[in-house]
Amino acid sequence: MLTKRIIPCLDIKDGRTVKGINFVNLIDAGDPVELARQYADQNADELVFLDISATEQKRKTLADLVLKVAAALDIPFTVGGGISSVEDVAILLQNGADKVSINSAAVKNPALINACAQQFGSQCIVVAIDAKQIEGQWKVHLVGGKVPTELDLFEWAKEVAERGAGEILFTSMDHDGTKEGFANSALAQLSAAVNIPIIASGGAGKMDHFVDTFTHGKADAALAASIFHFGEISIPELKEQLKQQQLAIRI
């Protein structure tokens, strides 16, 4: 049985870690390199870094930041934000990222998934999907959740898997920052629709939410930000509780 993973997420803006609610009202949450080091010490399974305001100019900044983080870490980390070409992926992997996350660029140019998987291997390619419910239908959103599309979450997830993505990072925009639990029914439907790992994102507020997303949501990994950044939940205590619930977890 594959172990369930706990993944802190660092949203990066202008070189700092930030956190908001429903993708807005951002507040500063600290230095990303220092936070990364702390999470490695706390036995996080992986880290995700998302440059939420990526532009061409910030691409270089993020690559430099990746280099610093790689020097401070001994656990896998994924980098995303503004990645739109095979060359962008190559730079980040060369600078020490273990995986890259592509989102808007994958929707605009789905063949990018194929090209990246072919060149670097599916294990390096995470496709992030931000979605919210509109009239009862889960619709994919782009550009940090600002641009709605007509794409159905589940159909897009199937296409992503067929094109060679190694994992899907699904963020429910409706649940993001609310601390009321993950979108478990959508996660379970996603898990049934594809045969690649699903990372749950959006809504973590207490330890039971992680238990629920691994059991009811069938998620393979759970990602959270503010509850870890601000010390509301400690990763070692969370892992101990998950173990007590008979979930496979790396202690």
Q: Which residues are catalytic?
A: 11, 130
Q: How far apart are CA 87 and CA 112, in angstroms?
A: 11
Q: How far apart are CA 90 and CA 205, in angstroms?
A: 35
Tokens at residue 200, please? Answer: 């749950």
Task: Give the DSSP letter of residue 54.
Answer: -
Contact residues for 100 (Cβ-Cβ < 8 A; gap 6+):
78, 79, 80, 83, 88, 89, 92, 93, 116, 124, 125, 126
- Which residues, listed in sequence order, are joined to residue 129 by a DSSP beta bridge? 170
Q: Is 14 helix (H, G, I), strand (E, B) or coil?
A: coil
Q: How far apart are CA 251 and CA 248, in angstroms?
A: 9
Task: Measure the CA angle with vertex 18, ends 50 and 95; round to 5°.
Answer: 35
Tokens at residue 244, please? Answer: 């007590």
Q: How far apart are CA 147 and CA 17, in angstroms?
A: 23
Contact in structure between 124 and 164 (CB atoms under 8 Å): no
